[in-house]
Amino acid sequence: MGWNIKRTGFIVFILAWHIPVFSQNSVIDGYVDQALESNIALKQKEYSYTKSLEALKEAKRMFFPIISLQARYSRAEGGRMLVVPFGEIMNPAYDNLEVINHSLSQSVPGYPAFPAYPKIDDYTINFVRPKEQETKIQLVMPVFNDAIIKNREIKEGMAKVEKINVDIYKRELVKEVKTAWFNYLRAGKMVELYRNSLGVTQENLRNSESLYHHDKVTMEEVYAARAKIKEMEKELASAQKDEAMARAWFNFLLNRDLNAEIQTGEPIAISYLTFDLDSLVIKAVGNRKELVQLDQYINIQQKKVKREAGSALPEVGLWASYGYQGEKYSFTKDDDFAQIGISLSWDLFTSGQRKAKVRQARIDRDMMEQKKLEAVSHIRMEVMDAWYSLNTARKGIDQAEEEALNYRKAYNLVSKKYQRGMASHLELSNALNNMLNAENKLILARYDNQIRQVELERVVAGYEFLTMKN
């Protein structure tokens, strides 16, 4: 009997501990720092931000000239031909001159003798040269291009968006790490609860066997006590599984070995703070990076409106080239050439396409502005939900403590009656179940209170980073 009361008292001790508040606890803050350094998903976000910075560098360098080496060599046959009729033009004239010379030589003594004029063939020009090469260095540089200017501004905005994405995920990661830590502590307390409950049921079995040997209870009481032990063993195994999974998830967030040991920290007294809902809403709307990100998206959409409108402006470019060309590779002063020029491209009429694109960009901007208004309302709802949930959780602790205290007293009374043979094992089992359920609820209520505080901290962006102030 004394041993059973001692066991029951140990369960009472489990309920008497205080769950620590770790808003600024060194243990959990240390784990948060580890997660911020090693979390895989966060590294992916940081890579996206780094990539956006490279895209911004690319956009900035589009203002600078591009120098390229270009070379070609070709062999060709056929193609268009141009016939220059030299023979058709000159041969009749030569024939007439020969006739005149011949007549004069016959009629005029001493007329000189002229040689016969040659026959001239027509000249054929091939537009495609059979062999041709061109090797040159070319420089191309934009002088004025509004699309390049706006594209740089858009890329700059996207880089800011990606940076904010990193900051947003950091806050979400803090919440996940803290929640996972409290879930692990809760799972550990559940294992401890069922392990000690198993000891109580084993003691009850010994008491049942003793009462049976003294003819105070029947054998069915012993069977029931044995069945209760199996039930507690099953509950303990389930609690141990939950503890193992909670440990694995926490270590996963820190990118550690899934079975790594987790520190629990030193418990400190629960601080029941009074939160003013209106002030928390104001704090959340002012602090949440999601709204800053939407402001950046709105700014980007406005830049896109200007980019589409700017397509009505001309594009001016400068180009220059120097190289060698000919039918064979020869790099002499007779084969080189140089060119320089300026290009202009200007869409004077686009059949309304430009205006349609501008209107589409404005619609996208207006949609983003509406999305921000929706986000503000959503954040207000999140704060309200977290605030009411926290207050409900705190009230739940008082209710759970009172319920556990009453069921604990009831179990102690039934246990004493059972040891005197004045209560059945069914009554004892029901009393134990009621007490365990109440203790389970109390553990859940206390840790639920801590998790609700973490959720409230997240929705108001209340966590202070060492390198990032919100």
Asked, for residue 132, whether it belongs to a domain, the answer is: no
If asked whether residues 87 and 153 sit together in one domain, one would say: no
Look at residues 189, 141, 184 and name the one whose alpha carbon lies nearest to residue 17. 189
Per DSSP, helices labelled H in 116-218 are: 146-213
Alpha carbons 102 and 254: distance in angstroms, whole number: 114
Tens digit of each residue's pLDDT, the chain (470 residues): 333 434 444 344 333 334 333 345 678 889 999 999 999 999 999 999 999 999 999 999 998 999 999 999 888 776 677 777 777 788 788 778 777 777 777 777 777 777 777 888 877 777 677 788 999 999 999 999 999 999 999 999 999 999 999 999 999 999 999 999 999 999 999 999 889 888 888 988 888 888 888 887 789 888 988 998 999 899 999 999 999 999 999 999 999 999 999 998 754 444 435 668 899 999 999 999 999 999 999 999 999 999 999 989 999 999 999 999 988 888 888 889 999 999 999 988 888 999 999 999 999 999 999 999 999 999 999 999 999 999 999 889 889 999 989 999 998 998 888 888 788 878 888 888 888 888 888 988 989 998 999 999 999 998 888 754 44
User: What does 52-118 look like in DSSP terms, one character per residue?
Assistant: HHHHHHHHHGGGS-EEEEEEEEEE-----EEEE-HHHHHHHHHHHHHHHHHHHHHHSTTPPPPPPPP
DSSP state of 24: S
- 423: CATH: 1.20.1600.10
Q: In whole angstroms, how large is the CA radius of gyration of the chain?
A: 46
If asked whether residues 93 and 237 sit together in one domain, one would say: no
Helix or strand holding residue 249 (H, E): helix 219-253
Query: Quick one: CA dihedral 453, 455, 461, 467, positive or negative?
Result: positive
**Which pair of tokens denotes residue 309?**
């409108």
If asked whether residues 182 and 242 sit together in one domain, one would say: yes
Alpha carbons 149 and 310: distance in angstroms, whole number: 10
For residues 327 and 267, the answer to whether their CB atoms sit within 8 Å is: no
Alpha carbons 303 and 292: distance in angstroms, whole number: 17
**Domain range for 281:** 2-70+144-316+350-459
If asked whether residues 238 and 302 sit together in one domain, one would say: yes
Alpha carbons 410 and 404: distance in angstroms, whole number: 10
If asked whether residues 256 and 377 sit together in one domain, one would say: yes
If asked whether residues 205 and 354 sit together in one domain, one would say: yes
If asked whether residues 360 and 241 sit together in one domain, one would say: yes
If asked whether residues 111 and 17 sit together in one domain, one would say: no
Asked, for residue 321, whether it belongs to a domain, the answer is: no
If asked whether residues 227 and 261 sit together in one domain, one would say: yes
CA distances from 15 to 195, 250, 263 (A): 14, 25, 21
Alpha carbons 356 and 349: distance in angstroms, whole number: 13
Residue 325, classed as helix, strand or coil, is strand
Asked, for residue 29, whether it belongs to a domain, the answer is: yes
**pTM score > 0.85 for this model?**
no
Alpha carbons 444 and 393: distance in angstroms, whole number: 10
